[in-house]
């Protein structure tokens, strides 16, 4: 029997795209959370964390309401791109985003906050603008932890089931990601396909985790602070 | 030239008590040491000047630029203040080479000249040979010099150093002092060095400020300040003096002396202008100025009887610690002859006693 590899490619594409989006958006938000003091800061942080603790179906339901074809956002999307968002592969990206984003924002914030403030102070003292401080000092020093977070976010985005099935559905060849395909295969008694996909996705996850662990190890001796 | 008037209050927190800083200082070219115990607010002063901490009120002027003015709501960001700052842990960027660190600070120098300027600076501070290495690959002294070179390359109008000799061994300290004197000679800017080491004040400072609990309590040339502490607080901070709490029994302005009651003894001291009979006052005397000898029954003028508690070997002498919180330093040869003796007599020379 010929195996259908489409779900795996779709999952990888969706996970990669959502990780890229989460990276740029998440890093900016993480920087603000790590460096600025303002009201509602911890409320925003909590809101960002919410997707990690809510049941995926609940999130999926919210998203259906907010992004559905009858909602203002859904109509706007349809107006701009000419096709609806829900029940397309783009909706799967949105679903994955809700797994990758929180993880990235939380980890990047922690990584940026763990950079010894004296380096940033020194950089400002030496005439660097905030932009330069971030790109030349904060980011390089937090880089490995952030990269580890990116890899983890990718792995997490790869495996979403609940949100995807709610807003992207289970359309073979169009929106059927690996997690959904496995469920579908088991339901329809296609044990061979289920086993293969389970093994492949486990191997990918293991590989990604070992990369993340290696990145997490620190580089400049045991600590960043030279005393 | 920097002129600063800084006030900053911190309310008591769960783990810290309330603290207030209220100082005024004016420094010209040359090395000034800021001396004080930990928690006196030394680093806070540097941070206010460099712009990391915003004072509650006051005014900071560097040459003719206003860095901060509480009343006029002027608060220049740290990057525009041109205050070189050598941090306590050097804060060299660990992911850049020494050259990269200095180069990072050379952004304002035109591209064509930058490479040459950086090389010159690296050579001036003798780190050119290790310029390609990362901070964790070089010695403490090289890190220190790199951090000074990095602070100097932008052409600061003031150099701040936070406990620069901390963690350096004796030869490196000497080297650091040489480097600082070199900067003083070549750049002619005010240099403010924070320290809690008295010897460093002597070695470095042309001017010394004594800070305690957020207040400047004495200033002047280090030798003068250390020889004549302005009060019991300052003398206690120095931690080198014998402190005598005495009661004035007789004042004799004619012979410029006084008779004082010290515990059960009566001694002759200097005259106290503006004091009355019966006042309790503090005197201090340096351990090296005390005359000590083994007790032989009779007490001469200005002598008191004490017990030897402990003898501590010092590089050049022996420090004898006696009952009554008194300590004296004597040459080792003098002590060796009487080292099993317990009963001693201490004499206070009138000229060694200083009024606090």
Q: Over chain B, what is the mean pLDDT?
A: 89
The whole-model pTM stands at: 0.81
A164 assigned to some structural domain: yes
Is the pLDDT assigned to residue B54 strictly greater than 70? Answer: yes
Contacts of A218 in chain B (CB under 8 A): none
CA distance A218 to chain B (A): 12
Q: Over chain A, what is the mean pLDDT?
A: 88
Q: How far is CA B267 from the centre of its chain?
A: 33
Give the pLDDT band of residue B293 (cuts 50, 70, 90): confident
Contacts of B105 in chain A (CB under 8 A): 126-127
- pLDDT at site B301: 81
Q: What are phi and psi of B7, to 5 degrees?
A: -125, 135
Contacts of A224 in chain B (CB under 8 A): 94
Give the pLDDT band of residue B277 (cuts 50, 70, 90): confident
- pLDDT at site A223: 43
As given in the structure block, the two tokens for residue B316 are: 């050049």
Give CA–CA dist A143/A129, Å, rounded.
19
Burial classification of residue A99, based on how many CB atoms lie within 10 Å of its CB (0-12 exposed, 13-18 middle, 19 or more buried)? buried
Burial classification of residue A97, based on how many CB atoms lie within 10 Å of its CB (0-12 exposed, 13-18 middle, 19 or more buried)? buried
CA distance B18 to chain A (A): 23
A40 assigned to some structural domain: yes
Is the pLDDT assigned to residue A199 strictly greater than 60? Answer: yes
Q: Locate tokens 């029997």: which residue?
A: A1
CB–CB contact B79 A137 (8 Å): no
CB–CB contact B105 A136 (8 Å): no
Q: What are phi and psi of B251, to 5 degrees?
A: -115, 130
Give CA–CA dist B200/B184, Å, rounded.
16
| Number of domains chain A is built from | 1
A46 assigned to some structural domain: yes
Is the pLDDT assigned to residue A227 strictly greater than 80? Answer: no
Give CA–CA dist B163/B196, Å, rounded.
8
Of B286, B289, B276, residue with least CA distance to B247: B276
List the Cα angle A28/A32/A36 in 5-degree steps.
165
A156 assigned to some structural domain: yes
Q: Give the number of other CB atoms < 10 A from CB of residue B110.
A: 8
Q: Which domain does A184 fall in, by range?
A: 6-220
Name the residue in chain A with its Cα closest to that of B150: A126
CATH number at residue A178: 1.10.3720.10
Q: What are phi and psi of B320, to 5 degrees?
A: -100, 125
Q: What would the mean pLDDT of B337-353 be, rounded to a whole number? A: 84
Of B94, B108, B151, the CB nearest to A226: B94
- pLDDT at site B43: 93
Give CA–CA dist B42/B48, Å, rounded.
10
- pLDDT at site B138: 94
Contacts of A129 in chain B (CB under 8 A): 79
CA distance A223 to chain B (A): 10
DSSP-assigned letters across all residues of A10-63:
HHHHHHHHHHHHHHHHHHHHHHHHHH---TTHHHHHHHHHHHHHS-HHHHHHHH
Q: Is B138 on the interface with A (CB under 8 A)?
A: no
Cα pseudo-dihedral B288, B290, B295, B299, rounded to 10:
170
Of all residues in chain B, the percent with pLDDT exceeding 70 is 100
Give CA–CA dist A194/A76, Å, rounded.
38
Burial classification of residue A137, based on how many CB atoms lie within 10 Å of its CB (0-12 exposed, 13-18 middle, 19 or more buried)? buried
Q: Is A122 on the interface with B (CB under 8 A)?
A: yes
A226 assigned to some structural domain: no
CB–CB contact B89 A137 (8 Å): no
As given in the structure block, the two tokens for residue B347 are: 């004499």
Is the pLDDT assigned to residue A221 strictly greater than 70? Answer: no
A1 assigned to some structural domain: no
As given in the structure block, the two tokens for residue B230 are: 């302005």
Give CA–CA dist A105/B318, Å, rounded.
63
Of A126, A141, A226, the CB nearest to B143: A226
Give the pLDDT band of residue A222 (cuts 50, 70, 90): very low
Of A71, A118, A141, A177, residue with least CA distance to B78: A118
Contacts of B135 in chain A (CB under 8 A): 226
CA distance B98 to chain A (A): 14
Q: Which helix (H) or strand (E) holds B66?
A: strand B65-69
Reported ipTM: the value is 0.81
Give CA–CA dist B304/B34, Å, rounded.
37
Contacts of B77 in chain A (CB under 8 A): 124
DSSP H stretches of helix in B51-169? 98-104, 111-124, 140-153
Q: Which residues contact B309 (CB under 8 A, 6 or more apart)?
A: B321, B322, B323
Q: What would the mean pLDDT of B40-48 be, rounded to a whole number? A: 94
Is the pLDDT assigned to residue A34 strictly greater than 70? Answer: yes
A202 assigned to some structural domain: yes
- pLDDT at site A173: 87
* Buried-exposed string A24-41: b where 16+ CB fall within 10 A, e elsewhere: eebbebbbebbbeeeeee
CB–CB contact B79 A140 (8 Å): no
CA distance A132 to chain B (A): 10
Q: What would the mean pLDDT of A149-163 be, rounded to a whole number? A: 90
Give the pLDDT band of residue A1 (cuts 50, 70, 90): low
- pLDDT at site A218: 55
Q: What is the pLDDT of residues B222-268, one digit of tens each?
A: 988 888 888 888 888 888 888 888 888 888 888 888 888 888 888 88
Q: Which residues contact A77 (CB under 8 A, 6 or more apart)?
A: A67, A84, A85
A70 assigned to some structural domain: yes
Q: Locate tokens 């990758």: which residue?
A: A100
């Amino acid at each position: 029997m010929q195996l259908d590899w489409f779900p795996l490619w779709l999952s990888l594409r969706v996970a990669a795209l959502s990780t890229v989006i989460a990276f740029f958006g998440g890093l900016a938000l993480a920087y603000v959370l790590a460096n600025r003091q303002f009201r509602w800061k911890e409320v925003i942080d909590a809101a960002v964390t919410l997707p990690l603790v809510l049941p995926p179906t609940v999130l999926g339901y919210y998203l259906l309401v907010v992004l559905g074809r009858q909602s203002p956002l859904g109509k706007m999307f349809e107006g701009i791109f000419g096709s609806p968002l829900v029940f397309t592969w783009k909706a799967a990206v949105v679903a994955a985003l809700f797994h990758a984003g929180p993880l990235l924002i939380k980890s990047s914030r922690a990584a940026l906050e763990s950079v010894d403030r004296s380096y940033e102070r020194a950089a400002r003292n030496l005439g660097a603008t905030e932009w330069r401080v971030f790109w030349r000092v904060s980011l390089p020093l937090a880089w490995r932890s952030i990269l580890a977070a990116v890899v983890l976010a990718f792995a997490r985005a790869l495996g979403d089931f609940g949100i995807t099935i709610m807003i992207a559905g289970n359309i073979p060849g169009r929106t059927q990601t690996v997690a959904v395909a496995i469920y579908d295969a088991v339901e329809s008694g296609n044990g061979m396909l289920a086993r293969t996909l389970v093994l492949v996705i486990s191997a990918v996850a293991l590989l990604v985790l070992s990369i993340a662990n290696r990145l997490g190890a620190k580089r400049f001796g045991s600590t960043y602070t030279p005393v | 030239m920097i002129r600063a008037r800084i006030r900053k209050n911190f309310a008591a927190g769960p783990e810290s008590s309330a603290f207030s800083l209220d100082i005024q200082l004016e420094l010209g070219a040359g090395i000034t040491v800021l001396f004080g115990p930990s928690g006196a607010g030394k680093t806070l002063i540097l941070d206010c000047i460099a712009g990391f901490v915003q004072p509650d009120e006051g005014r900071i002027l560097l040459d003719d630029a206003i860095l901060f003015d509480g009343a006029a709501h002027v608060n220049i960001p740290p990057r525009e203040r041109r205050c070189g700052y050598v941090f306590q842990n050097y804060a060299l960027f660990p992911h850049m080479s020494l050259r990269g660190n200095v180069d990072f600070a050379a952004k304002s120098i035109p591209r064509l000249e930058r490479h040459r300027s950086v090389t010159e600076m690296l050579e001036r501070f003798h780190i050119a040979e290790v310029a390609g290495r990362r901070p964790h690959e070089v010695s403490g002294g090289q890190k220190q010099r790199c951090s000074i070179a990095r602070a100097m390359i932008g052409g600061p109008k003031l150099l701040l150093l936070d406990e620069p000799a901390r963690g350096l061994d004796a030869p490196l300290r000497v080297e650091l002092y040489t480097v600082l004197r070199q900067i003083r000679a070549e750049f002619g800017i005010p240099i403010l060095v924070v320290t809690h080491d008295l010897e460093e004040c002597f070695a470095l400072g042309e001017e010394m400020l004594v800070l305690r609990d957020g207040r400047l309590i004495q200033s002047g040339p280090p030798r003068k300040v250390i020889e004549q502490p302005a009060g019991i607080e300052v003398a206690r901070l120095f931690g080198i003096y014998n402190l005598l709490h005495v009661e004035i029994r007789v004042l004799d302005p004619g012979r410029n002396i006084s008779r004082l009651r010290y515990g059960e003894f009566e001694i002759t001291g200097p005259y106290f202008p503006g004091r009355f009979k019966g006042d309790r006052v503090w005197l201090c005397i340096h351990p090296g100025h005390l005359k000590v000898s083994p007790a032989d029954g009779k007490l001469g003028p200005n002598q008191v009887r004490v017990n030897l508690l402990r003898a501590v070997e010092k590089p050049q002498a022996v420090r004898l610690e006696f009952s009554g919180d008194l300590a004296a330093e004597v040459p080792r040869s003098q002590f060796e002859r009487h080292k099993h003796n317990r009963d001693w007599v201490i004499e206070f020379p009138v000229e060694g006693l200083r009024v606090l």
